Amino acid sequence: MFSRQLRFKKCDPNAVIPTKAHPTDTGYDLTLIRMSKDMSIPGFEQKIIMYDTGIAVCPPDGYYTEVVPRSSLSKTGYMLANSVGIIDSSYRGSIKVVVTGDNSLDDLSLPFKGFQLILRKLEEVEVVEVDDLDDTVRGDGGFGSTN
């Protein structure tokens, strides 16, 4: 039925193979199974914790994957530390997720299903340095210039 495969491997016997709750869902739910590392910085007011999914992924040729938060993560007070986690197509290690939140927060209760893996098409382009770029109406206006 499908011409491509998104292959998953358990790196830990407690890992949960990612699934979609509904066939029309975009992302595959990822389950955090253990704390990997407390990365908090002494004196800093935010917790920074790395969690492990125990899952490795192999996307089809021409694709890569991204880790993004599910909407349910907002109920915990935590955020994905790097906004979007890019998983290069050649990476075969266990997928880790780094979260940050106020020091007063409890650690996430494991197993925790608060993230999803999204398959993305990799677009290859040639990088070319030029002296000038095309003019546009916006030009170099940024950071609120369109308000």
- 1-5, 61-65, 135-139: least confident range: 1-5
Structural domain boundaries in the chain: 7-121
Tens digits of residue pLDDT in 100-131: 998 888 899 999 999 999 999 999 999 999 99
Tens digits of residue pLDDT in 22-42: 999 999 999 999 999 888 888
Residue bearing tokens 């990365």 = 39
Q: Which pLDDT belongs to residue 147? A: 65
pLDDT band at 94 (very low <50, low <70, confident <90, very high): very high
**What is the rounded distance in angstroms from the CA atom of residue 135 to the CA atom of residue 9?**
48
**How would you list the strands of the sheet with 46-52, edge to edge?**
34-38, 46-52, 96-102, 79-80
pLDDT band at 139 (very low <50, low <70, confident <90, very high): confident
Residue bearing tokens 């075969």 = 92
Whether residue 3 is predicted with pLDDT greater than 90 in this model: the reply is no
Strand partners, 46: 102
Average pLDDT over residues 41-50: 88
What the block records as the tokens of 136 is 């546009």
Average pLDDT over residues 67-77: 92
Residue bearing tokens 């253990």 = 34
- 2-6, 10-14, 66-70: least confident range: 2-6
Fold exhibited by the domain 7-121: Deoxyuridine 5'-Triphosphate Nucleotidohydrolase; Chain A (2.70.40)
- As a whole number, the mean pLDDT across the chain is 92
CA dihedral 81, 82, 87, 91 (to 10 degrees): -70
Residue bearing tokens 């407690």 = 14
Q: What would the DSSP string read from start to end of 34-101?
A: EEEEE-PPTT-SEEEEEEE--EEEEPPTTEEEEEEE-GGGGGTT-EETTSSEEE-TT--S--EEEEEE
Rg, Å, the chain Cα set: 19
